[in-house]
Amino acid sequence: MALTAAQQWRIWGLVIAGVLLLLWLLAGTLLPFFGGAALAYLLDPVADRLERLGLGRITATTIIAAALTLLIALGLLLAVPLLVEQAQSLIGAIPDYLASASHFLGGRFPQLFDESSAIGRGLASAETALRDSGGVVLGSVLASSLQVLNFFYVLVVTPVVAFYLLIDWDHFVARVNAALPRAHAPTIRRLCREIDAVMAGFVRGQLLVCVVLGAFYAISLMLIGVPYGLLVGIVSGMIVFIPFVGSTVGLLVGTGIAAVTFWEEPFWIFATAGVFMIGQFFEGNILSPMLVGKSVGLHPVTLMLALSVFGVLFGFTGLLIAVPLAAALGVLGRYAFEKYLESPLYSGATPPEDEEGEEVLDPAAPPIGEE
């Protein structure tokens, strides 16, 4: 007996609710598997291209894995120790920066920064607190949140999962495609293609934008001579996918450090600010249109909301799945709105009835979900 549309909606609603509950319960455990799936998805076009050159799937995947392992090893050996060292040094230097800023501004606005004023007392207490605890902040955060064993577990398991998923990615997609409900398969395929276009345009394109801008910021700040330029530049590039946040954070932090360092040479302060303004210009006018595209379909507010909600619900795992889920929800939301505009609920029209009061269905109309 065929299921009615209402019964199908109830079943799928229960399935989705069960999946979300499972994600919430197993969020920490699933991190390497989501990370591996994300890596396999990102690298599948590279493997397909190598296959078109005549390589077998296993050979192509092995080459990709070797290249990725080499890049990660170089990063761990060269970049990560330097970044950690700069982060520790920056945390330890914050009290000195606050003291310098207080002294500089206090000479020009003595009423605001007098020790008896609210601002003066706040700065003094912040400086004291940071001097007492700033040197151990990074170490305590790393020790409590990353948990060294769990970190290495994720580091080892994620590439292994990605390797095996990448080998079987096309077979996996084919099996899922074959298992789609026949009545709804054309619509599901169309929606999946739209979701893939959104994610491919955003994730792969935005990843390149982050890499390019992170390198530009880091190299430019180091050439100017801004202390901790590598750290500030890379962090600013990593979060540039959140509209205006990466460049704004980099501008405020980088210019603040430059102002304390070069306060007698204003040219370098303006040069530091100019680096982030140039980066923002190139991102908005050249990099994003070229690498991401203008029709991605992810509104900035939707992206920030997804990152906030899924980050709170599922932690770091939620940050990994936020963009794919936001893309899927955006496509499904547009599809639902299209159906709403076609429905009697919007038009106010009622379906014709036969003599017994039953709704008369158009025999030429496609099954529910099929176009």
pTM of the complete model? 0.62
Query: Based on the domain organization, do 160 and 221 belong to the same domain?
Result: no
Query: Based on the domain organization, do 219 and 247 belong to the same domain?
Result: yes
Q: Tell whether 131 is covered by a domain.
A: yes
Q: Tell whether 323 is covered by a domain.
A: no
Query: Based on the domain organization, do 148 and 203 belong to the same domain?
Result: no
Q: Tell whether 33 is covered by a domain.
A: yes
Q: What is the DSSP letter of 262?
A: S
Q: Tell whether 307 is covered by a domain.
A: no
Query: Based on the domain organization, do 60 and 163 belong to the same domain?
Result: yes
CA 312 to chain centre: 14
User: Which pLDDT belongs to residue 364?
Assistant: 47
Cα Dmax for the chain = 91
Q: Tell whether 8 is covered by a domain.
A: no
Structural domain harbouring 85 = 26-135+143-169
Q: Which residue has the tokens 């197993």?
A: 26
Q: Tell whether 17 is covered by a domain.
A: no
Query: Based on the domain organization, do 44 and 149 belong to the same domain?
Result: yes
Residues whose CB falls within 8 Å of the CB of residue 258, separated by 6 or more in sequence, listed in order: 224, 226, 268, 269, 271, 272, 273
Query: Based on the domain organization, do 213 and 159 belong to the same domain?
Result: no
Query: Based on the domain organization, do 261 and 202 belong to the same domain?
Result: yes
- Averaged over successive runs of 10 residues, the pLDDT of the chain (371 residues) comes to 72 84 77 85 90 91 90 77 76 71 64 58 61 52 53 78 91 89 86 84 80 91 88 86 77 86 85 90 80 63 79 74 79 86 78 50 47 46
